[in-house]
Amino acid sequence: MKIITVIGARPQFVKAAALSREFAKHSNIREILVHTGQHFDANMSDVFFDEMQIPKPKYNLNINSVSHGAMTGRMLEEIEKVLLAEKPDLLLVYGDTNSTIAGALAAKKLHIKVAHVEAGLRSFNMEMPEEINRILTDRISDYLLCPTQTAIENLINEGYKNTTAVIKNTGDVMQDAACFYAKQSQDKSTIIKQINLNKYILTTLHRADNTDNKQKLTNIVEALNEIHQQICPIVLPLHPRTKKKLQAFNLKLNVTLLDPVGYFDMIELLKNSSLVMTDSGGLQKEAFFFKKNCVTMRQQTEWVELINANVNVLTGANKQKIITEVEQMLIRPSDFTINLYGNGKASKNIINVLLNT
C-alpha cells in the first residue's frame, strides 16, 4: 500500500511522527510525506526533524503567508501534481487545517481514497475555519478514523451510517506521541531551569476568536494579570499573532512571558505545571495526558469528554469566570486513569483499519 500523507502545521508533524513510526514496521506499507509549508518557522529546520525522529518530507510545497482562499487553492493545485506523479493507493490527512481540506479534495477529485485522522470532531461553531475544514474533509473521506466515542456519535448524528465510509474509533495519535516523547523531554529541554518556578499555571492564548476581539482579549488579559499576581504565577509562551494584537490594542500582560517553545519544552512545562489554561484544542488533551486539570477560555470545545470527566471547564472570555474556575481547578481532585483516547495505541489501531477493511 502506497500512502501519501499531507501535513502542514507543526502539531500535524508530531501526530504524523507517531503514525509514521508504525508504518515503518510494515514492509507492505510505503509512506510519502508532503509538507504544504502552511506553518513555516525556524523550528521546522532539520534539527526539528532529527530531534523528534520525524521522517523528512519528500515534497515541501512552501505555501504560506497568503489568504485562506489563496492558500487552499495553491495547495490543491500543487498536491494534485504530486498525486499524479506518485499515484498512491491512499491519501492520509490529519485534523482541520487548510492543508487537510486541500489534500482531501485533491485526492478525491482523482478518485484516490482518503483517510481522515481525527475525524468526527465538532465544536459546532461555524465561524471557526477549522470547523469548516473538518466537516468538509469528513464528508469526502473513505476512512473516518475517530479519536473518541463522541466523534463517532457526531458522525452518526450527521447520517454517516448511510454512507460507504469506514467509521472506527481508533483513539488519538496525540496520546501516542505524548507517551513517546515524554520519555525523552527531560534530557532535551532546559526550560524548567530557565523559568525557575516551583508552582505555575501553563497558559497559551492564540485563538483568533479571542485575540481579534478587543473586549475579549482585554477581559482575558485582566484575568491573567490578576491570577498571576494574586493566585498563582502564569507562564505563557506568547504566539506572534497574540503579541501583535496586544500591541495593537495597547494591552499589557504582566505574567511570565516566553518566546514560542518547541515540543520537548512544552512537554516539560506541562509535566511540571499545577494547571493548564488555554484556548487551544490540542493542549486541552495534552493536559489530560499529563494528568493536569484545564481551564479552557472558549465557549465550546471539540473534546467534550474532558468536560464530562470534570478535568476541563469552559469559561469563554468572562474575566470573573476565568478567575473563579482557576481557583477551583487548582485544588480539584480528578481521575486521570480513565481511558478516553486509546492509551497510546491509536497508531496501531489505524494501521489495522487501513490494512483490513
CATH code that applies to domain 2-172+342-356: 3.40.50.2000
Angle between helices 173-182 and 263-272 (to 10 degrees): 80
Q: Give the number of residues written for the chain.
A: 357
Whether 206 is a known active-site residue: answer yes
Do 185-329 and 2-172+342-356 fall under one CATH topology? yes
Q: What is the mean pLDDT of the chain?
A: 94
Active-site residue (options: 116, 206, 228, 239):
206
| SS3 state at 227 | helix
pLDDT at 177: 93
Q: What contacts 116, CB < 8 A, 6 or more positions away? A: 92, 93, 94, 100, 104, 137, 138, 141, 143, 144, 145
Cell of 24: 515503518
Alpha helices (H) in 165-312, listed in sequence order: 173-182, 185-188, 191-195, 208-211, 214-230, 240-248, 263-272, 282-289, 304-308
Q: Whole-angstrom Cα distance, residue 145 to residue 349?
A: 9
Record the pTM: 0.87
Q: Are the C-beta atoms of 237 and 163 separated by less than 8 Å?
A: no
Q: Are the C-beta atoms of 146 and 111 separated by less than 8 Å?
A: no
Calculated CA dihedral for residues 54, 285, 287, 321, nearest 10 degrees: 140
Share of the chain above pLDDT 90, in %: 86
Superfamily of domain 185-329: Glycogen Phosphorylase B; (3.40.50.2000)
pLDDT at 20: 95
Nearest to 141 by CA among 166, 176, 178: 166
**What pLDDT digit, counting tens, does each position of 306-337 carry?**
999 999 999 999 999 999 999 999 999 999 99
Give yes or no for residue 282 having a pLDDT over 60. yes
Q: Whole-angstrom Cα distance, residue 344 to residue 163?
A: 29
Q: Are the C-beta atoms of 262 and 41 separated by less than 8 Å?
A: no
**What pLDDT digit, counting tens, does each position of 25-65 carry?**
999 999 999 999 887 665 555 666 777 788 889 999 999 88
Alpha helices (H) in 98-148, listed in sequence order: 98-109, 129-139
pLDDT at 329: 98
Kindly list the domain boundaries of the chain, sorted by start residue.
2-172+342-356, 185-329
pLDDT at 55: 83
